[in-house]
Structure 1
Amino acid sequence: MNPGLQMIFQTRYSYLGASGWQSEPSKQKELLLDPARLAKRFALFEKMNLASLRDQTDRDFKLLLLTSAELPEDHLRLVTEACHDMIGADRTIILQRGPAAAGRMLMKYVRNNMNTSEHAAQIVLDDDAVSVDFVARCRAEAEFAITQFTPEQPCCYLSFATGLTGLFHQDGGVDLIPREMPFTNLGLALVGPTSIRKNPFMLAHKKVARRHAVRVFHEQRPFFIRAIHDTNDSRGHRGDILLEAEGVQNAMAWFPLLKDLDLVKLRDGAQAAE
């Protein structure tokens, strides 16, 4: 393990600012901070983001969460307590900021306040989830990538392209869909000096391979779950072939959090057995 490498998950939580979002709530404070929307946001954050970090085999990481300066105090307290309870106060950093470019704000914070390690792997994680071994695997790949850096190429992006889409229905049920897509926020990490003037949210995803050094991992296993629901802040691209019951059961080895969700294939199977 490289003691000069830190793992930093970065989450945008109901943040009113520029960050590639496309929905109307992302631009309007009244919609973004509506109590009903915040309740849904928190439920997903707790069941997906925090649950997947709680279950990591390698717990040496930080969660850097960016939220709006005007997030209600009671909701901020709810989020803070959940982070502390599920992953620990020592792993949690919560930034309340006014409207600005999220990527630039996060980049400056990492450079100025998290510069105790020479290198960092900066990992995108919004209301989605990563596999139980994601920190361990990302760390191993990042450590190797660092050995290949040169003055001309001091950083690279890691893209774990294989995952799942979690389709959250209005009735609370969840379907899983296989997903294979490099260079999106899911499974994406920027590896480089902690002082680098880059951030994974400051990225033109369609041009990653042309503009940056990259390492892409396509494997016969999932590294993430992309949550698609009725309050997404970006377009939810997905396939249409649902994972069958056996595949859903197998996914639980990578995502124990699935045991606490209402998985449609398993629910339907149980009903059929009755």
Structure 2
Amino acid sequence: MQIIGLCRFSFPALGDFQIEHDTIKDRRRHLYNSARLKERLSLFESVTLPSFRAQTDEDFQFLVVVGDCLPKLAFDRLNDLTADIRQVQIIQRPVDQNQKHRQTMKQILQCARLQPDQPCLQFRHDDDDGVSVDFIERLRDGAQDGAGLIKKNQAIGIDFNNGYQASFGPNDIQAAQVYKSLLGVGLGMLIAGNCAHTIISFTHNRIGRFMPVISYPDRPMWIRSLNSSNDSSRAEKQKSQLAPITPDTERAFAERFAIDLDFVRRAHSSA
């Protein structure tokens, strides 16, 4: 079964974000701020990409969508960071004031389906988050568990609701294990053949209103990064719940997410 992931790297269309802007120019100014881009690239390199390199199931696609106006230095850096990951495809799209963000992403996902008449697994992923090294494997297992449900539904959600929230810096790394349902990270969707829905068709935290959802709380499956450029207005409150990372958590980050915290510290020192 085909598995497709979608990651929007600072894509400056309007809509589908909590922090909104009146014009594309304003959105670009916000997303392409040099300090913000440096932070996002550091998180993408040190938190997001390690686990996608180390997936126990290598049969997936990871689409990284950028605007054709992304500054060249950032675009070149993205290409360098992902050059050794064969599953990654960087997709450039033009952006204009009348463009519907959600519709653009739906079109990209629909075009990526190799056999539209067959079921497909999809997931969305933010460029500052991480997933476990067995995320793809367990998504595929979830599709098998949902085989009966998908016969009666156009789509079903596959939600891994056990993970970590964490903040990363050169000298201070903090984390807390949490249980949160229907986040943008650690959430997949099994889509029936000949169905036009995509993982981006629904607001992630409302998916349960439109389809059955299978939840797996058994082990940590994601890391949600809390940083200075989070789109969520709740990020600052969530940061206050974090604690300095422990040796056990550091081992879990290495084993479950392929994250080297010494490398994280160096990456953020140079950001």
Write the mapping of 1:84-123 to structure 2, written as runs, cut at 5 A: 84-85=83-84, 87-88=85-86, 91-99=88-96, 100-116=99-115, 118-123=118-123
User: Normalising by the residue count of structure 1, what TM-score does the alignment of the two structures yield?
Assistant: 0.82
C-alpha separation in 1, matches of 2:19 and 2:171: 22
Q: Cα offset for 1:130?
A: 0.4
For structure 1, list consecutive stretches of 5 or more residues without a partner in the other structure: 264-274
Q: Cα offset for 1:167?
A: 1.3
C-alpha separation in 2, matches of 1:195 and 1:109: 16
- Paired residues of 1:62 and 1:93 also in contact (CA < 8 A): no
Determine which of 22, 25, 29 is the counterpart of 2:18: 22
Counterpart of 2:269 in structure 1 is none
% identity of equivalent residues: 22
Quickly say closer, same or farther: Cα 1:154–1:83, change in 2 above 3 A: same
Counterpart of 2:78 in structure 1 is 79
- Paired residues of 2:79 and 2:90 also in contact (CA < 8 A): no
Range that drifts further, 56-65 or 108-117: 108-117
Residues 222-254 of structure 1: CA deviation (Å, up to 9, x unaligned): 100001111112232637153533233234210
Counterpart of 1:224 in structure 2 is 222
User: Normalising by the residue count of structure 2, what TM-score does the alignment of the two structures yield?
Assistant: 0.83
- Paired residues of 2:16 and 2:102 also in contact (CA < 8 A): no
Residue 253 of structure 1 aligns to a residue in which SS? helix
Q: Cα offset for 1:104?
A: 2.2
Counterpart of 1:9 in structure 2 is 5
Q: Cα offset for 1:184?
A: 1.3
For structure 2, list consecutive stretches of 5 or more residues without a partner in the other structure: 267-271
C-alpha separation in 2, matches of 1:120 and 1:42: 29
- Paired residues of 1:168 and 1:227 also in contact (CA < 8 A): yes
C-alpha separation in 2, matches of 1:167 and 1:245: 16
C-alpha separation in 2, matches of 1:257 and 1:58: 18
Q: Cα offset for 1:115?
A: 2.7
Residues 73-118 of structure 1: CA deviation (Å, up to 9, x unaligned): 2321221232122x12x54242323153333222212223433362
C-alpha separation in 1, matches of 2:193 and 2:74: 31
- Paired residues of 1:119 and 1:194 also in contact (CA < 8 A): yes
Counterpart of 2:160 in structure 1 is 160
C-alpha separation in 1, matches of 2:20 and 2:257: 31
Residue 58 of structure 1 aligns to a residue in which SS? coil
Q: Cα offset for 1:23?
A: 3.0
Range that drifts further, 140-149 or 237-246: 237-246
**Two-structure CA RMSD over aligned residues (Å):** 2.5
What is the letter of the counterpart of residue 161 of structure 1?
A: N
